[in-house]
Amino acid sequence: MCSRFELNADPGALARRFGLTAPPPWPQASERRPTDAILVIGADGFGLMPWGLAVEWQPAPLINARAETLAAKATFRPLLSGGRVLVLASAWWEWPGRVKTRIAPVDADLLAFAGLSDGRGVVIVTCAPSAGLAAVHDRMPVILPPESGAAWIDGSKPFEAVAPLLRPHAGPFAITAAPRRQPDLFG
DNA sequence: CCAGACGTTGTT
DNA sequence: GTCTGG
DNA sequence: CCAGACGTTGTT
DNA sequence: GTCTGG
């Protein structure tokens, strides 16, 4: 996964579901790419934050972090207690066979991805794919079910206590190829 | 991911 | 810049 | 201490 | 080189 996702939802409904104190700031477009502002909820509040964690040793920011190795990576270790956040989404895309393919939950309008933030940027945590998505891609974002979101962002819980949440979400997911743009007038 | 565009004025 | 491996 | 890695996905 | 579309 995950060089692109979508946030297409009603801000008021989102605020109610996540108990926000006010309607959240909203990205300008639903489709989100690395470096775009994305909606993040953490223990200290919510807001827009650039997608990607800046590192000094390469020009492009890191956008993903493997769940399996988080605790072993010096880059992510400092974020494991105080930097756990939710990244709000409604779907994400993969490119099996280079065909843009949308993956969205069948039974929900919103997804909460597990994220890690240093206060300046965010990475999305990835895991192995669920059975239903294995044919699409070999990774997927960690999706936290509604009952797990609060625990993930609770910095008073040690990372070891929430690490078991970082597992593939079974779905079900709707997998749909993006329609090709209509040939315009005159082809 | 890769491929393809990346611009404007004035318009059918 | 900071961490890890040797 | 110094040298080299440091991240992920997808791939040369 | 970087952005956009699929």
Q: Where are the domains of chain A?
A: 5-177
* Residue pLDDT, tens place only, A58-92: 888 999 999 999 999 999 999 999 999 999 999 99
CATH class for the region spanning A5-177 = alpha beta
A154 in contact with nucleic chain D (CB within 7 A): no
Supply the ipTM of this predicted assembly.
0.84
Strand C contact nucleotides, protein CB < 7 Å: 1-4
Q: What is the mean pLDDT of chain A?
A: 92
Say yes or no to pLDDT of A171 above 90.
no
Say yes or no to pLDDT of A181 above 70.
no
Say yes or no to pLDDT of A187 above 60.
no
Q: What percent of chain A has pLDDT over 70?
A: 95
And the tokens for A88? Answer: 């709000």
Say yes or no to pLDDT of A183 above 60.
no
Calculate the angstrom distance between C1' of B4 and CA of A94.
Answer: 19
Q: How far apart are CA A7 and CA A136, in angstroms?
A: 21
Strand E contact nucleotides, protein CB < 7 Å: 4-6
And the tokens for A69? Answer: 């190795």
> Which of A 96-135 have CB under 7 A of nucleic chain B?
98
Calculate the angstrom distance between C1' of D11 and CA of A76.
Answer: 25
Task: Give the CA dihedral A79, A123, A87, A39, nearest 10 degrees.
Answer: 100
**Cis peptide bond prior to A23, omega within 30° of 0:** no
Contacts (Cβ under 8 Å, ≥6 apart) of A141: A1, A2, A5, A89, A92, A111, A113, A114, A124, A125, A126, A127
pLDDT of residue A148: 95
pLDDT of residue A13: 93
pLDDT of residue A184: 47
Calculate the angstrom distance between C1' of B1 and CA of A93.
Answer: 11
> Which of A 6-25 have CB under 7 A of nucleic chain B?
none
Mean pLDDT of A93-113: 94
Mean pLDDT of A94-108: 93
